[in-house]
Amino acid sequence: MRNFQPKVPLLLILIFVSMSISPQDGATQTLSISALVAEPAGSVTRLVSFAEEHGGYFLTTTFQRVILRLPMAEIASFRTFLEEEALEILNYQQISRDVTQEKAEALAALSARREILERNLEFLDRADVNGTLAIEREVTYLLNEIEAISGRILTYDVDTKYALVTVQLAFQGTTLPPSGGSSFGWINTVDPYSFIGGSY
């Protein structure tokens, strides 16, 4: 029962869906950025604010990392903002992927399963006890598949509408050179760590 044969209407739907989604609409953008900043915590806050002010949102923020969703149209302005925010952009990688075909296939699969589901439900009234149980099993299986495919289509929609931006923020010199390099004695006594952590 699970091995169904594609029918002519199904092929037509597939062709129609393929034509209706242009490659541009079906492209996802993934940005992986590493930037050197003066204060990561402040930069994380400002990056999140930028995303929210420009129609996006954040997925995760940690002390030195932020993952954002940004509308496709805001990628260029985000780059400009980042160049102002960062002392240096260490890495900027933008990967584009066309998911038009995958989405079209998912839509076709969804349509086919819905059709089979309807047919199964039509059989339900005429089936005996054993047949009813078999149909119920099949219906459960189809519903699970429909749910999974619908979720995938939803993800495609989000991915094609919003770019996924991961920004890794770094400090200059994670291991600081030792103090004591100045030729002037008193300058070597200016030590922020001793001052912050020490006594009075």
Contact residues: other proteins, CB under 8 A? 38-42, 63, 87, 171-173, 176-179, 181-182, 184, 186-190, 192-193, 195-196, 200
Q: Angle between the 100-124 and 129-161 helix axes, to the nearest 10 degrees? A: 160
Provide, rounded to whole angstroms, the least separation between the CB of residue 89 and other proteins.
16
- Phi/psi region, residue 173 (left: phi>0; alpha: psi -120 to 50; beta: rest), is left
Q: Quote the CA–CA distance of 20 and 30 in Å, as a whole number.
A: 24
The Cβ-side half-sphere exposure at 47, using a 13 Å CA radius, reads 33
130 vs 193, beta carbon nearer other proteins: 193
37 vs 135, beta carbon nearer other proteins: 37
Which residues make beta-bridge pairs with 35?
89, 169
Provide, rounded to whole angstroms, the least separation between the CB of residue 87 and other proteins.
7
140 vs 182, beta carbon nearer other proteins: 182
Provide, rounded to whole angstroms, the least separation between the CB of residue 61 and other proteins.
13
Beta-carbon count within 10 A of 170 CB: 18
74 vs 85, beta carbon nearer other proteins: 85
The Cβ-side half-sphere exposure at 1, using a 13 Å CA radius, reads 15
Paired sense of beta strands 27-36 and 162-170, if any: parallel
Q: Quote the CA–CA distance of 11 and 192 in Å, as a whole number.
A: 70
154 vs 187, beta carbon nearer other proteins: 187
13 vs 37, beta carbon nearer other proteins: 37
Q: Quote the CA–CA distance of 90 and 174 in Å, as a whole number.
A: 15
What does DSSP assign to residue 69?
E
Provide, rounded to whole angstroms, the least separation between the CB of residue 171 and other proteins.
6
Provide, rounded to whole angstroms, the least separation between the CB of residue 181 and other proteins.
6
Provide, rounded to whole angstroms, the least separation between the CB of residue 46 and other proteins.
13
